[in-house]
Chain A
């Protein structure tokens, strides 16, 4: 079992729709979770972080965390073609030196159709 799992996609949604990206993780003691966006040929950039169960909203983005189910998701409302990218889920360890390490999923490719 991979430490962080994502559906590779592509996830195709029409412009204006809600895009839902999902991620599961295996280490139950993980405490911090991040979503990075990576445009084709570019470097990852952080768009959301979440540490507590529930929802966290930032503009059109909402991160959702359920530690009991070891599940984290990212919702993008009013999807725009400019949101088309690969979205990487990352989990940070809790113990010792692992608190400085991010474990990334392989990413989900999102395609927003105009």
Chain B
């Protein structure tokens, strides 16, 4: 079975540019999570969706960040305009419904560098 698929794997761009990260969750999973990982702050939850609806976006750092989930098989995380401090690894994870102790399955991540 295919796992969580993220694209691109690497992104290097100049500050001020728009960045769009993409995620395809595991088929049948109703929860989708976006995380950011840095050395200083570790793995932080940015936002999560349930059945395509954003449930908690309290981790989104600023209005420059936005996330959408137009259907059950696709989500985007957008940064506009990007800044050097946004450089990090961004992970998408999905989980099946039911017992909330079900494990989250992570994608391979997008390594983002803002110059």
A contact set with B: CB distance below 8 Å: 32, 34, 42-46, 49, 51, 88, 92, 97, 99-107
Residue contact A106 to B41, C-beta cutoff 8 Å: yes
Chain B, interface size category, equals 10 to 19
Looking at chain B's contact residues, the main secondary structure is strand
The 7 closest A-B pairs by CB, nearest first: A106-B42, A43-B106, A104-B43, A46-B103, A99-B100, A44-B106, A97-B56
Contact partner of B31 (CB less than 8 A), chosen from A46, A51, A92, A100, is A100
Q: How many pairs of residues, A versus B, come closer than 8 Å at their CB atoms?
A: 46
CB-CB under 8 A from A32, the residues of chain B are 100-101
Residue contact A43 to B107, C-beta cutoff 8 Å: yes
CB-CB under 8 A from A97, the residues of chain B are 55-56
Asked if B91 lies at the interface with its beta carbon under 8 angstroms from chain A, I say yes
A-B contact pairs, 20 of them (CB 8 A): A32-B101, A42-B108, A43-B91, A43-B108, A43-B109, A44-B43, A44-B91, A44-B106, A49-B103, A88-B42, A88-B43, A92-B100, A97-B55, A99-B100, A101-B48, A104-B42, A105-B42, A106-B41, A106-B43, A107-B43
CB-CB under 8 A from B45, the residues of chain A are 101-103
Asked if B104 lies at the interface with its beta carbon under 8 angstroms from chain A, I say yes
Contact partner of A49 (CB less than 8 A), chosen from B44, B48, B91, B101, is B101
